[in-house]
Structure 1
Amino acid sequence: MTTQTDDPLPDLLRRLRAAVPIDRARAARDLGRLGWLARDAIPALVRAADDADGKVREAATQALGQMGPEALPPLKLMLRHDDKYVRRQAVWALGRLGPLARPALAAVCEALRDADPRTASGAAQALGNMGADGADAVPALAEAMRGTNIVLCRLAAKALSQIGFPALATLITHLQHTDPFVRGESALALGWMGAAARPAVPYLAKLVRGSSGRGLADTPPPGSSLSGFGAGSGAVTPTAPAAATEATADDTCRVYAAQALGKMGAAAAAALPELTAASRHGPDPLRDAARQAARLVEGA
């Protein structure tokens, strides 16, 4: 009688060196399914990430991402791999690690500027998943919001909302940006923060009134709960609004601002006059958004 072992690792490591690429890729995927139990295969998977076959490289990197925090060092290095599919899998794996990926924060911030849009977007999501541990990424995310990739702008704004208080001043300042899309995404992000974004209420109310930020003070007023914010918080220098902005884009900003105020509930009570006025005299669909927001604020 032959003795069989219950450990599949030796066989999978052997298959990872198979002559046929599809067999190597399958072995990598099977190692990934084992997750942390296959952590001894990390060195072999790192080598497989440089395989001559692209499918094997991608499968090996994906498997590394299922190994847990022990795979953090090689995943960090793979953010600079020549193969964009390897970089994508690496940044997505780091995103799944959440706050545990904090040691790779600088490398993930660099990935925000990756030429591959999906890698850059994955970097924004990974930074957001770090939560407050990603506070040092605020300046890089603020820069990403101001780029030409609208998907990255939205994901960077979402990440800033997940970081929370350290990103608050940056999001408020972005309500004054010349690009209406940036203003709108900033308003949405502040809404995702809920009552924690209370210092943004007067700025969002200004948007609801139909201003793109014109006339807002560059520094917080005396006694404001924003006092003490500075460059260290990730704030950016406000820019003068464009002379003309398409009405539809500006109206969308107003809708997003109203929705954000509604999500803040009672914390946005100071904006009720603006919401009431917009619900009566604003354009569609602002009237409905302002009406609903006012009900949420009053009923909270």
Structure 2
Amino acid sequence: MQQPSATADDPLPDLVRALRNASAAVRFRAAKDLGRLGWLAREAMPALVHALDDEDAKVRETAAHAIGGMGPEALTVLVRMLEHHDKYVRRHAVWALGKLGPLARPALPDLCRSLKDPDPRAASGAAQALGNLGADGADGVPALAEAMRGTNIVLCRLASKALSQIGPPALATLIAHLQHADPFVRGESALAIGWMGAPARSAVPFLAKVLRGAEAALSHTPAPTVTPTAIPVPTDSAALTPPQLNGPDGTSAEVTCRVYAAQALGRIGPAASAALPDLRDAARHAPEPLCAAAQQAIRQIQGP
């Protein structure tokens, strides 16, 4: 479906006036129509910004959506929207910044702050937006690492995914997290390292420790020399004993993180050949689904 275009019969003046109508329904329709125009409605930006403080929640959200569709020209406004009192406005801001990809690089500090947004969806959207920056999001690694250690499971997963999208600058942080006390954090770190593929070859010995089990993964192994920042060690005893979350199939969190380690080794491919003895041991003796994951990883490393 083609977007409407501005013609000699310019609809913008009427739509801008409609945004000030006494009827909330009229204001809502005007904001929606401006959203359909996309970047062609950029001259209506000031009116849409004003509508972000409309007394009607639907008008505010629709105006936020319209601004989000205006592309890079809306960057400054989108950053301001991250501090809005309406969570739906903040959600649209992080989603729109995510769509901008590397063009949203100037918003990186603001997105890092949004990782602590009280609205879980806004925080998760900030993680996705940081991941979409790719290597340009390297300065966001510490904030994403902190988000991985929080209680929001969805945010933890999206933060780990974002770190994998950032790539090599985030690898040392993910390796450090493979030695975290919480098996869920270890598992998500392994999963993220696997998404990196062959460039994550330096993580192979650490993934092998996770594959062997919690005792090996938490042993006092020297941290990678490339680690840019130290990972804070919790001093509170409760922080050291997080809930033991289960996988979707009822598998314990400990087994699930070992499965993710096996899968990561498989995705790294031939560069993970040093882990073959551990994978073969798991393939022979481990319970399902770890046994199957180890067998698959062996095939991926050795080739057909």
TM-score, normalised to structure 2, is 0.90
Over 3 Å counting, the alpha-carbon distance change for 1:244 and 1:236 in structure 2 is: closer
Q: Partner of 2:116 in structure 1? A: 113
Alignment partner of 1:168 is 2:166: no
Counterpart code for 2:272: A
Residue 218 of structure 1 contacts residue 238 of structure 1 at CA under 8 Å; is this kept in 2?
A: no
Q: Partner of 2:252 in structure 1? A: 248
Query: What is the root-mean-square deviation in Å for CA atoms of aligned residues?
Result: 2.0
Alignment partner of 1:143 is 2:146: yes
For residue 273 of structure 1, the aligned residue among 273, 277, 288 is 277
Over 3 Å counting, the alpha-carbon distance change for 1:267 and 1:55 in structure 2 is: same
Q: Partner of 1:29 in structure 2? A: 32
Q: Partner of 1:124 in structure 2? A: 127
Over 3 Å counting, the alpha-carbon distance change for 1:243 and 1:99 in structure 2 is: closer
For residue 227 of structure 2, the aligned residue among 185, 209, 229 is 229
Residue 174 of structure 1 contacts residue 238 of structure 1 at CA under 8 Å; is this kept in 2?
A: no
Q: Partner of 2:201 in structure 1? A: 198
Q: Partner of 1:177 in structure 2? A: 180
Deviation at 1:54, TM superposition (A): 0.7
Counterpart code for 1:236: I
Secondary structure of 1:18's aligned partner: coil
Deviation at 1:207, TM superposition (A): 1.0
Q: Whole-Å Cα distance in 1 between the matches of residues 134 and 228 of structure 2?
A: 20
Q: Whole-Å Cα distance in 2 between the matches of residues 38 and 142 of structure 1?
A: 38
Aligned residue runs from structure 1 range 55-66, under 5 A: 55-66=58-69
Over 3 Å counting, the alpha-carbon distance change for 1:17 and 1:210 in structure 2 is: same
Secondary structure of 2:214's aligned partner: coil
Residues 167-192 of structure 1 deviation map (CA, whole Å, 9 limit, x = unaligned) = 10110000111111101100100011
Deviation at 1:7, TM superposition (A): 2.1
Residues 216-266 of structure 1 deviation map (CA, whole Å, 9 limit, x = unaligned) = 52333xxxxxx44322xxx52467996899682211111010011111111
Alignment partner of 1:91 is 2:89: no
Secondary structure of 2:55's aligned partner: coil
Residue 173 of structure 1 contacts residue 238 of structure 1 at CA under 8 Å; is this kept in 2?
A: no
Q: Whole-Å Cα distance in 2 between the matches of residues 140 and 30 of structure 1?
A: 37
TM-score, normalised to structure 1, is 0.91
Please identify runs of 4+ aligned residues in structure 1 that moved more than 4 A. Answer: 237-247
Counterpart code for 1:43: P
Secondary structure of 1:176's aligned partner: coil
Q: Partner of 2:136 in structure 1? A: 133
Alignment partner of 1:38 is 2:36: no
Over 3 Å counting, the alpha-carbon distance change for 1:50 and 1:243 in structure 2 is: closer
Counterpart code for 1:57: R
Counterpart code for 1:159: A
Residue 203 of structure 1 contacts residue 216 of structure 1 at CA under 8 Å; is this kept in 2?
A: no
Deviation at 1:269, TM superposition (A): 1.1
Q: Whole-Å Cα distance in 2 between the matches of residues 61 and 243 of structure 1?
A: 41
Alignment partner of 1:186 is 2:189: yes
**Same amino acid, percent of matched pairs:** 66
Deviation at 1:31, TM superposition (A): 1.1
Residues 10-36 of structure 1 deviation map (CA, whole Å, 9 limit, x = unaligned) = 222122222211221221121122111
Q: Which ranges in structure 1 are unaligned for 5 or more consecutive residues?
A: 221-226
Counterpart code for 2:231: V
Over 3 Å counting, the alpha-carbon distance change for 1:40 and 1:272 in structure 2 is: same
Q: Which ranges in structure 2 are unaligned for 5 or more consecutive residues?
A: 1-6, 245-250
Counterpart code for 2:29: R
For residue 153 of structure 1, the aligned residue among 148, 152, 156 is 156
Residue 147 of structure 2 contacts residue 155 of structure 2 at CA under 8 Å; is this kept in 1?
A: yes
Over 3 Å counting, the alpha-carbon distance change for 1:228 and 1:148 in structure 2 is: closer
